[in-house]
Amino acid sequence: MPRYQIRITQSFARPVDEVFARLADHDNLRSVFKVPVHRIRDGKGDVNGVGSVRRIGMGPLVVEETVTALARNRSIDYRITKGGAPLRNHRGSLRFSSTPGGSTVHWSIDYEVPLPLIGSLVRAVLNSRISSGLRGLG
């Protein structure tokens, strides 16, 4: 089955703790994805932490993502746990680092799709939306 990757890097003139706080809070992700995002289950010890679930999208294009790992101001890992067909094995990670002028985020997404045309379309849409949304957070 074809495997797809998305790699996005965005620099910010804000400290890493501010950028992490914005992107770790599910409620702020609406401005990144440009679609409704709602936390539907709190995480263990942190509402947006490990085990938290967010619903993204509307109508038939809704997916649920579960946070699988979180290290404050360093990383967030998640995966699609409901919906998303025909995507399979969708996993994402955000890596945060401090820079002399602020911070940088490296966002990686890996997934499989049995239909190459769909895989390329998903990659183009996600790349565009996430890149645009991250620039808007700057």
Which residues constitute the domain of residue 38?
A: 3-137
**Residue 77: CATH number of its domain:** 3.30.530.20
Q: Is the pLDDT of residue 138 over 80?
A: no
Confidence (pLDDT) at 34: 84
Whole-angstrom distance, CA of residue 80 vs CA of residue 78: 7
Contact 93, 107 (CB under 8 A): yes
- pLDDT by residue (tens digit) across 55-93? 999 888 899 999 999 999 999 999 999 998 889 999 999
Number of domains in the chain: 1
The reported pTM is 0.94
